[in-house]
Structure 1
C-alpha cells in the first residue's frame, strides 16, 4: 500500500527552511538535487540554478518531509494552497495509476503520470476539492 509524506513548495527558500528543519528533527538529507543538476539546468537564469529541485529529510520511522523551490522562471507561481502536497509513494505502476486516476477525477492535472529523468513514475494534480497530490513510484523498486 502507498505511504503518505508531506511535500512543500517554497519561493526560493527551500535550503534555508530545510536546514532549519534538520536542526530541529536531526538526521541527514537522503536526497538533495539542485536545478543545475537537471537536464534543463543550463537553460535557467543563473540565480535559479542553485535553487533546490528536490530535497528529502526523514523525520521518523517511514516518514519524511520533501520540498522544492517554485521558480517563476519555469512558469511556477507559489500561492497559499499549492505550497503543500500530499505525496503518495506507490509500490508499483499499477497502484500509482489507480491512485492517480482515482483521486484526480474532477480535478486539475498538473503533470500526467510519466517516467521521469529522476527515476520515478510520477504525476501531480489538484483534486476536485483543491487538495494537491503527488503520486510517485520509484522505478528501481519494480521488478
Structure 2
C-alpha cells in the first residue's frame, strides 16, 4: 500500500501546465471533460471540455493526483504540504532538490524559507506555488 497526494484545484489544467513548466512535472495523464465517455451525460451533469475529472503527474519521480472542484468552485489549498526528503550525503539528490527549488522560484513561486542549512537539516527550503500548495525539500 502507498499514499498519493491528491489535490483539488479550481482549474487543474492551469495547475498542470504550471507544474510542467516550472516544477518539472512529467508523465502527465489527464481525463478531461472532452473525453467521449461524457458525451451521453444528462444535461445537469455536462462538464466543460477543460474540466479535469482526474489527472496524474510526477515530480522528482513521485506520483501526484489532481482534479477540478465541481463546477470549478474556488478552493483554498493553504495547508497542503508536499515534502521531498533526500540523503544529505547524496550529492546528486541535493543537486536535483536545489534545481527543483530554483526552477520553481524562477517560475513565480514564493519562497517561505530559503534553501540552506538549518538547526534541523543540512539542506532545507520551502516555497508556495500559485495554487496554495507548500513544497519543501529536506536533507536527512
Q: Same fold (TM over 0.5)?
A: no
- TM-score, normalised to structure 2, is 0.43
- TM-score, normalised to structure 1, is 0.42
Bigger CA radius of gyration: 2
